[in-house]
Structure 1
Amino acid sequence: MNKLNDLPYQTILFDGKWGIGKTKYIMDSINDKENVYYISLFGKKDINVFYQELYYLLLSKHKVKFKKVIDKIGKINFSQFGFNISIPLISDIFESIQEELENTTNITIIIDDLERKKDEFDIREVFGFVDSITKKEGTKVVLVASSDNFSTETKKNFEEYTEKSLDRIYKISTYSKDAPQKILGDDIWSAIEEIYQDNELKNLRTLEKANLFIKEVIKVIPSSIFTSKINKEDIYKICFSVVLFEVDYKGEMQPLTENDGKNHRAFHEAYNSKEKVPNYIWHYILKQNLNNPMMSKFIPTFLEWFSTGDFSKHQFNEIVKLVNTYVESRHPLFMSEEQIVKESEQFSTFINNLGQDISLKNILQRLDELANIIEKTELKFNYQADEVVKWITNSYDFNSYNDYDDTYFDILMRRESKFINEVLSKLQFKIKSNYKNNQIAVMVANAKKLDFTHNETNETAEFLRFFDRLKDEEKDNVVQEMKNNKWFLPLPLGEITDSHWTYCHNIFQCIVEIDGRVKASIIKDVHDFCEREIEDATDKIFKYRLRSLIKQYLSV
């Protein structure tokens, strides 16, 4: 574009995919140039709309030069408010313009977005215009298109006329190497270049959107927050990664590569955790590459900000406080003997040195490192396993047993120190015991109800899932609890509700499923219990209901 006047061609086509920067590069190259006129066909429905915009464009640049042209055309109203043009006169106007510019050289008309015109706008009319205007020496026309995005009919006509009407076609497959740096500027580019290279971006619009978002963030957040722990470079990286995920990835987590799949911890955090999208960005786009890893806490806030425009100052300030107050734990291997002895004197000292938002895994890792070096050096270790377990269970939510099953603990218990393995064993027992007691308490409470919500009727399924995760001895203990509590059956006495009857069916289905999961059958015991209830009852409808359940589910 910079050498356009030196080229022998009058008609040129730049053809390339969307997003590689065709329009931006052209606009940058024609900035402040005389006798260059740019028109986009975006949304235009016919050639007349194109002619009218071109006329306005020419007139706006040459008001004085064209005043006598306007004076010659009686049907045009010229006023301080602009020009009102009668569409039937467009061709006359254009002829008048050509006459006035006969002595002007090096005129360039750029027609962009050929593929974005309306379907009813026949592209052959554009080529007709090109043939007509370029008969005048010194007039050049540059067409810009993404031919891959033409409709079938337009593509057919386009291919037919390009050979006849165009002197030169340039196929643009990628943007210039310095385009990303020019868009983002040196500071931002140096921060995000590695992320950019890892993701092989082909769309400059992602960079433009990232640049705008970074500018928005930097403008909104106070400059006073930047410290040795909170730095602009990490802000740039997070913003760019968020935009990349939302724009290029279209908000979808990409399938793992073979190498990524080998990191099971990263996989779990990105695909199975509650904060899976922020974790995905952290592990697979940022690749944990921040100057301060604690800055990753900003990812959910910036993701919400870019996606919805919603920015919570309170939430942002809380994260700032968290990042600034976090003290990174020192590895015991690098501590002096005096430091290790001091930290191992009281568990409360260890707790006070932890970050406010540290995960359970990291706590156990830190404890293991400390206990391991103390055990191997035979220093005195004053922590008690029970106090550690008590603090962990009070500090973390273990209501969901799904996240803390035997497999989870079996993996965690492959640790170096004897102390941490004792902690894990006791923690596992306590969590499972609490969960078992909670599950049994729910089922006992339901056995006393006469009406059930939808969620309550489904609690038998959750109980069964819990039962499946137990070891054989634990299953026997739970079966005994069921037997002691009338098999958790809310007896269908008197007037009952539909939900009560549904729950009774669910209990019997649960009993049948459990029977197939234990060594000794429980069907006879349940059958005998029901027969005793029938024998003791005087309510004939109740007897009928219970016999129907026995017949449907229990075969002795």
Structure 2
Amino acid sequence: MRADCIYDIIKKFGCFSYDCILFDGPWGIGKTYAIDKALEEQENVCSISMFGLQNSQQIYHEVLCQFVLKNNKAGKIAGAATEVLDGISNIWKSVSSVKEVLQSIAREKELFLLLSKGFDSLHIIVIDDLERVSDRINIEEVFGIVEELKKCNNVKIILVANIDELQENNKEIFKKHNEKVIDRIYHITEKPEKINWGEIGIHAGFMQEFLSVHKVKNLRTLKKAQRFYDDVYILVNQIDNQQFKDEIRLICFAIVVESTDNLYYKQNDNEDDSNKKIFNELHNELLYRILLYLQEVRSSRNLVNILLEYYNNQIVLSTSDIMLEYKIFLQAGNKPNYFKTDDEIRRILPKIEDDIVKATTIGELNRNADEYEMWSETIGEDNASMLDKYREIVRNLLWNEVKKENEDILGYSYDLWHLEAEKVKEIYEEERNAVRKMVIQHYVDYLKETTKGKMAFEYSRKLREYCANNYYKEIIKENIDKLYNRKSFPVDEIDSVQYHTCYNIMSVLYHINQDRFLEYSDELSKQCDNMSAHRMDVLIREIIRIID
């Protein structure tokens, strides 16, 4: 049964002889949505979620508060409540205030049962999320309350549940007692056919087209997908290109729907067929399944990758990330690159190469180079000169970042940039390592000349930190000979900053080769004055204490 049927059933509920009905169906099928639509014009409705209630008797508190103690739609009832509360002392002599009445669950129950005798129109109580009932609450208790509410004048009950998700102990109770309490159960198997998508913030045209291809059954999944798109849209709302925004939305929906509902996941029916098993494993990879939604998009696969990683909380997405992808989107023309001919690809390659030359950030450079190499390789176009340009530019940009004291960028592998082209990956790693060597050589060359000043201290501190990294340690080892000179030790006339710089250098020397360091230090201490030898001895003992 489609969830649309809920609307017609509830509209006729007042004429039915049923006092309690239950709508059963999977989570997200649209039960609550359809019920809310059917009851939106009904004056006297109380909606309760069992999720979060710690005591079944709280149901009475909810119906009392929602039906009686409100004055927006139920003025007559509010007036009746006043009369009842004015005379409440005749029933409970010990009660001195309304507040005390409401603090007593038992009294709330009695108050509502008494007050319901004056109901002259239909009152509907919706009890939702029955399967999410707390461990402290037994379904039998809830059924007992429903039985009591059914006896009230002009009160009907709608229960909402996913019976399959009831806890095992509650399933047995449900099977035993449901026929006594529930007059009819409606099984909802399909989401509503007619949904006002605008009301839930989803573009109707997009949704109709999306569902015509991808048979999503879970309305909650679609709402989740819309929320993800709303999140990403904050970063794209300044872009004046509706097609790009539409593709962003499609990618967001593809990511959420396939990650949640696994529409295109295929079970391997024949485990003995190894070839089929391997084929299924490849096609069951999440990224592959997501791409099944995106066969007509112009946007790059890298955009899909970064949005998927953002959805999985693996990265922080920025406006600059989106803008770089937008530039690639514009380069692709009106037809996705994947569907272009060789000649069409050749026509866009010069523009991409121009963007490579003009790139001012590593991210922009890498994404354009990746795009160029991937398509030029596909059509057999010679890309050697472009790769040479890329090598030179990426090294310069990395070095410029280092000079701006952004050395952390040297710790980022090509994975951070979502590179796919193997040659670009290889060059990036080679140049990243080359710049790492340049950094160490620069520090060592500076320190071999002087250990004076704040710059020398900073270089020595970084050199000491890099010693903890095995990759950098090997580079330092290749350059260490330059630091075996008198300037690296606290001898002769020095100041406090220089003293700490020498400590850092001595720590590096000891870390690389302890025997050589101690032998050199012993020889140097015989050549300098007593105070210099004493300072060296203090630092050596401190270094040995910390490292060993």
2:444, 2:482 within 8 Å by CA — same for their partners in 1? no
Provide, for residues 376-399 of structure 1, a one-character-per-residue CA deviation record: whole Å limited to 9, x for no partner: 9xxxx9x69976654443345574
Does 1:236 find its partner at 2:249? yes
Does 1:37 find its partner at 2:30? no
Task: Mark the CA change 1:317 to 1:492 in structure 2 (over 3 Å): closer, same or farther.
Answer: closer
1:26 is matched with which residue? 35
Unaligned runs of 5+ in 1: 78-83, 250-256, 268-279, 514-522
Does the residue aligned with 2:126 lie in a helix, a strand or coil? strand
2:181 is matched with which residue? 165
1:538 is matched with which residue? 529
Task: Mark the CA change 1:508 to 1:218 in structure 2 (over 3 Å): closer, same or farther.
Answer: closer
1:482 is matched with which residue? 480
Report 1:377-526 matches (<5 A).
389-395=391-397, 399=402, 400-403=409-412, 431=435, 434-441=438-445, 444=448, 457=461, 459-463=463-467, 465=469, 481-486=479-484, 490-493=488-491, 503=504, 506-512=507-513, 523=515, 526=517
2:299 is matched with which residue? 293
Aligned-pair distance for 1:115?
Answer: 6.6
Task: Return the alpha-carbon distance in structure 1 between the equivalents of residues 357 and 221 of structure 2.
Answer: 44
Provide, for residues 198-230 of structure 1, a one-character-per-residue CA deviation record: whole Å limited to 9, x for no partner: xx785x334235446767988998799235xx4
1:214, 1:236 within 8 Å by CA — same for their partners in 2? yes
Task: Mark the CA change 1:465 to 1:22 in structure 2 (over 3 Å): closer, same or farther.
Answer: same
Task: Return the alpha-carbon distance in structure 2 between the equivalents of residues 395 and 427 of structure 1.
Answer: 10
The amino acid across from 1:363 in the alignment is: A
Task: Mark the CA change 1:140 to 1:147 in structure 2 (over 3 Å): closer, same or farther.
Answer: same
Task: Mark the CA change 1:122 to 1:298 in structure 2 (over 3 Å): closer, same or farther.
Answer: closer
1:108, 1:142 within 8 Å by CA — same for their partners in 2? yes
Task: Mark the CA change 1:16 to 1:512 in structure 2 (over 3 Å): closer, same or farther.
Answer: farther
Across the two proteins, how many residue pairs are aligned to each other? 478
1:333, 1:373 within 8 Å by CA — same for their partners in 2? no
Q: Could you state the TM-score of these two structures normalised by the residue count of structure 2?
A: 0.57
1:450, 1:496 within 8 Å by CA — same for their partners in 2? no
Task: Mark the CA change 1:73 to 1:424 in structure 2 (over 3 Å): closer, same or farther.
Answer: closer
The amino acid across from 2:247 in the alignment is: D
Task: Return the alpha-carbon distance in structure 1 between the equivalents of residues 302 and 331 of structure 2.
Answer: 13
148-157 vs 532-541, which moves further: 148-157
Task: Return the alpha-carbon distance in structure 2 between the equivalents of residues 58 and 385 of structure 1.
Answer: 73
Task: Return the alpha-carbon distance in structure 2 between the equivalents of residues 484 and 136 of structure 1.
Answer: 94
Does 1:207 find its partner at 2:211? no
1:17, 1:146 within 8 Å by CA — same for their partners in 2? yes
Aligned-pair distance for 1:334?
Answer: 1.8
Task: Mark the CA change 1:440 to 1:352 in structure 2 (over 3 Å): closer, same or farther.
Answer: closer
Unaligned runs of 5+ in 2: 1-5, 89-97, 263-276, 403-408
Provide, for residues 292-339 of structure 1, a one-character-per-residue CA deviation record: whole Å limited to 9, x for no partner: 31697699899999x9xx999x979967984686466999952799x8
Aligned-pair distance for 1:533?
Answer: 0.6
Does the residue aligned with 1:536 lie in a helix, a strand or coil? coil
Task: Mark the CA change 1:366 to 1:334 in structure 2 (over 3 Å): closer, same or farther.
Answer: same
Q: In structure 2, which of residues 41, 58, 61 is the aligned counterpart of residue 46 of structure 1?
A: 58
The amino acid across from 1:512 in the alignment is: N
Aligned-pair distance for 1:98?
Answer: 3.9
1:517 is matched with which residue? none
Aligned-pair distance for 1:153?
Answer: 9.8
2:139, 2:173 within 8 Å by CA — same for their partners in 1? yes
Task: Return the alpha-carbon distance in structure 1 between the equivalents of residues 291 and 379 of structure 2.
Answer: 34
The amino acid across from 1:188 in the alignment is: F
2:30, 2:192 within 8 Å by CA — same for their partners in 1? no
Report 1:115-264 matches (<5 A).
126-135=142-151, 140-145=156-161, 162=178, 164-169=180-185, 176=191, 178=193, 184=202, 186-190=204-208, 192-193=210-211, 202=218, 204-211=219-226, 225-226=240-241, 230-240=243-253
Provide, for residues 94-125 of structure 1, a one-character-per-residue CA deviation record: whole Å limited to 9, x for no partner: 45644664xx7x87543334577889888766
1:41, 1:112 within 8 Å by CA — same for their partners in 2? yes
Task: Return the alpha-carbon distance in structure 2 between the equivalents of residues 372 and 73 of structure 1.
Answer: 85
Does the residue aligned with 1:225 lie in a helix, a strand or coil? coil
Task: Return the alpha-carbon distance in structure 1 between the equivalents of residues 298 and 225 of structure 2.
Answer: 21
Task: Mark the CA change 1:283 to 1:169 in structure 2 (over 3 Å): closer, same or farther.
Answer: closer
2:266 is matched with which residue? none
Task: Return the alpha-carbon distance in structure 2 between the equivalents of residues 243 and 283 of structure 1.
Answer: 12
Does the residue aligned with 1:110 lie in a helix, a strand or coil? strand
Task: Mark the CA change 1:537 to 1:283 in structure 2 (over 3 Å): closer, same or farther.
Answer: farther
1:13, 1:144 within 8 Å by CA — same for their partners in 2? yes
